[in-house]
Amino acid sequence: MVPENGEVHVLLVTLPAQGHINPMLMFAKVLVSNGVHVTLATVEVSRKRLLDGSSSITNNNTAAAKSKFYWEFFSDGLSDDFDRSKNFEEHFRLLFTSGPPSVSNLIKKLSDVRKFSCLIYNPFVPWVVDVAVEHNIPCALLWIQPSALYAIYYHFYNDLSSFPTLEKPDIPIELPGVPCLSMDDMPSFIHPSNPYPSYKELLLTMIKNLDKVKWVLGSSFYELEKEVVDAIAKLHPITPVGPLVPPIILGKEESVKGNADMWKADDSCLEWLDKKPPSSVIYISFGSSILLLPKQMENIASALKKINRPFLWVVKPSDNPSKDGNGELPKGFIEETKEQGLVVTWCSQARVLSHPSIACFVSHCGWNSLLDAVSSGVPVIALPQWTDQPANSKLLVYTFKTGINLQRDDNGIASKEEVERCITEITEGPKAEKLKKNATYWKEATRKSVANGGSSDKNLDLFIHDISGFSSKSI
């Protein structure tokens, strides 16, 4: 909590992708509820979509009722009609040139009314560090993937460990505190066959800029990744302040209200869940950007019909529909299963995973989704696709021990029979009771970590105390 005689204002900078902005907004809410003023800045093109869903962000915490939250937007140097999702490589490259002056100008514009004590950014906008240096503002990196991924990238880019190559694909990745990884478990941006060079360069910049960063904060929590947090502390520490998930998952009231969902949630699914027995519903969602191949969609659909358990499936329409049918349900599926399941285009995942009727979660294992599941005590069936997801699923199975992996063929497709097997195994098989017990353990551990005196609560207090010190020196 900010001292009564001090005023602290921080600037958070992120790209507007749902998986990037969610943890930044969750952290903003935590800071606001602790008496810190927050400005969250992202790319101008997302202004309308974000403000339509989030303009009502308010602070109802009486202990810190005077702290304020602001949205701000900066130019990425591109026109509104430029397709950023299809041309993300070019977008990232251009941001290295257009981003710094845009954010710098934003700080100058606000300097008369907001004096920033700290600038906080995530790994995908590493150039923000140079803006912080330019304005002599202390800087923090908010790491929005597991601490284990931070350790993997740190070792990779500093040549501290051996990693597989195309010539030597069988080299195991053995890092302190991290389960042994194979090439198939590697984050896709450092995979030998990585087709996205700009991402690799971006993460290299992020690692090389760490000497300009005063704090590396993590969206995880200490107990969940104790071994890797302790190990990386000897090289370049990360301080977990999470899990950065909606308060409802943690059994808390939401003192700072508002969201940054890019799509309108269908709340009818909550009423539908109310009518289902406890631990009966299969929840399926692959996040905001994953579009599965038609064969994979067909196999999941066929398996659901075969097992005849209730299901809730989030199938978000593509922002850029293609002729190949990726991400689309088989024709007739919704009508055929209307008595069994429910398909929605988007939902409040926090409220769904917190619902007692949910039995398990079929997920792509993006870190936000995985944290939601871990914090809710829900076992996970993993179908990772790219970026950090393959490594995340390894943590899920071997470190957290709250899930199982769908096995796939040489084309990367899990068969109908494999989907059936995993759903049966996680809900009623020999491992089901142990997986649920482990999931419940982590649910309780998350709540302890953010409670008064918990590990993340203490880390957050120390961080706020630090930036409050910088604030008082700058007045």
Query: Exposed/middle/buried for 198, CB within 10 Å: 0-12, 13-18, 19+?
Result: middle
C-alpha angle 128-86-414 in degrees, rounded to nearest 5: 105
Residue with tokens 């790319």: 43
Going across the sheet that includes 311-314, the strands are 341-344, 311-314, 281-285, 358-363, 380-382, 403-405
Residue 191 annotated as catalytic: no
**Angle between the 416-428 and 294-307 helix axes, to the nearest 10 degrees?**
50
Q: What is the 3-state secondary structure (H, E, C) of 133-190?
A: HHCCCCEEEEECCCHHHHHHHHHHHCCCCCCCCCCCCCCCECCCCCCCECHHHCCHHH
9, 20, 191, 355: the active-site residue: 20
What is the distance between the terminal CA atoms of the chain, rounded to a whole angstrom?
19
CA dist., res. 88 & res. 91, Å (int): 5
Residue pair 119/9 in contact (Cβ under 8 Å)? The answer is: no
CA dist., res. 156 & res. 473, Å (int): 38
Residue pair 305/336 in contact (Cβ under 8 Å)? The answer is: yes
Question: Which residues are identified as catalytic?
Answer: 20
